């Protein structure tokens, strides 16, 4: 499974692609950070990020895009920009029919380090080790993008099993309610 991991941000947006193999095998494909100047108008910054996302998707052809979920930050303006950057990446993927999954920072940290409260240095060190890289990806946004892709490779089977279980439970509930309705209908005759 080829995964494009995205650490969204207006100033620095990390992109990382990995190929997931059997078990927990992951192989690095590409990593980079797209930068936009802070003095550029917001719409132009988002356009640059969107164009970069489209280029990465077209070049690397991922089967899924994994984006960091923005859930809260102390700085509302930063959170808004991060969410907007993630949104344009998700839109680029959706236009191409590529599924998008969102993972929280703690899910990503737990997947690659074993601790949901790991710091950026620990994440970078583990990404470097997991992918057997000669040097650590820099800046941290690049390592975070690779961590998102790794996280998705490792969590995807569980997510898929959960979705199948939920669908089976919903089908069982539908059948049960249909039988109850039949019994109720037969009892009122």
Name the residue ranges covered by the structural domains of the chain: 2-160
Mean pLDDT, the chain, rounded, equals 93
CA 138, CA 120: separation in Å to the nearest integer?
11
Nearest to 31 by CA among 173, 175, 108, 143: 143
Q: What average pLDDT does this structure show over 50-76?
A: 91
Q: Which residues of 55-74 are buried (b: 16+ CB within 10 A; e: fewer)?
A: ebbeebebebbbbbbbeeee
Cα–Cα dist 150/128, whole Å = 11
Q: What pLDDT was estimated at residue 97?
A: 98
Q: Given pLDDT bands bounded at 50, 70 and 90, which one contains residue 72?
A: low
How confident is the model over 9-41, as pLDDT tens digits?
999 999 999 999 888 899 999 999 999 999 999
pLDDT of residue 69: 92
pLDDT class for 73, splitting at 50, 70, 90? Answer: low
pLDDT at 155 over 90: no
Q: Rounded distance, CA 7 to CA 14, Å? A: 5
Q: What local confidence, expressed as pLDDT, does residue 165 receive?
A: 87
Residues labelled as active-site residues? 7, 68, 141
Question: Which pLDDT band, with edges at 50, 70 and 90, does 3 fall under?
Answer: very high
Q: Which CATH class is domain 2-160?
A: alpha beta
Alpha-carbon distance of 60 to 106, in angstroms, equals 27
Could you tell me the pTM of the whole model?
0.85
* Pairing, β 64-68 against β 26-35: unpaired
pLDDT in tens, 87-114: 999 999 999 999 999 999 999 999 999 9
**Residue 39 CB neighbour total at 10 angstroms:** 6
Taking residues 48-76, what's their average pLDDT?
Answer: 91
Question: Would you say 68 is a known binding-site residue?
Answer: yes
Instruction: Return the residue matching tokens 């995964």.
Output: 3
Average pLDDT estimate for 152-169 = 82
- Report pLDDT for 22: 83
Measure the CA–CA gap between 168 and 47, rounded to whole angstroms. Answer: 41
Kindly report the backbone phi and psi dihedral angles of residue 98, in degrees, each rounded to the nearest multiple of 5, phi listed first. Answer: -95, 130
Listed residue (124, 14, 27) closest to 65, CA to CA:
14
Kindly state the average pLDDT of the residues 124-136.
97
Q: Which residue has the higher pLDDT, 167 or 175?
A: 175
């Amino acid at each position: 499974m080829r995964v494009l991991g995205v650490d969204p941000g207006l100033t620095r947006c990390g992109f990382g692609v990995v190929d997931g193999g059997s078990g927990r095998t992951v192989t690095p494909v590409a990593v980079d950070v797209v930068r936009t100047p802070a003095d550029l108008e917001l719409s132009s910054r988002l356009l640059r990020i969107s164009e970069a996302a489209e280029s990465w998707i077209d070049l690397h052809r991922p089967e899924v895009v994994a984006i960091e979920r923005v859930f809260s930050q102390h700085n509302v303006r930063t959170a808004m920009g991060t969410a907007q950057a993630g949104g344009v990446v998700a839109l680029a993927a959706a236009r191409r029919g590529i599924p998008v999954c969102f993972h929280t920072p703690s899910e990503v940290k737990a997947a690659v380090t074993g601790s949901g409260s790991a710091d950026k240095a620990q994440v970078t060190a583990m990404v470097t080790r997991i992918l057997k890289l000669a040097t650590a990806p820099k800046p941290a946004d690049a390592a975070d993008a690779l961590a998102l892709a790794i996280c998705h490779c490792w969590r995807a089977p569980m997510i898929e099993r959960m979705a199948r279980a939920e669908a089976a439970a919903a089908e069982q509930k539908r059948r049960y309610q249909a039988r109850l309705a039949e019994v109720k209908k037969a009892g009122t005759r």
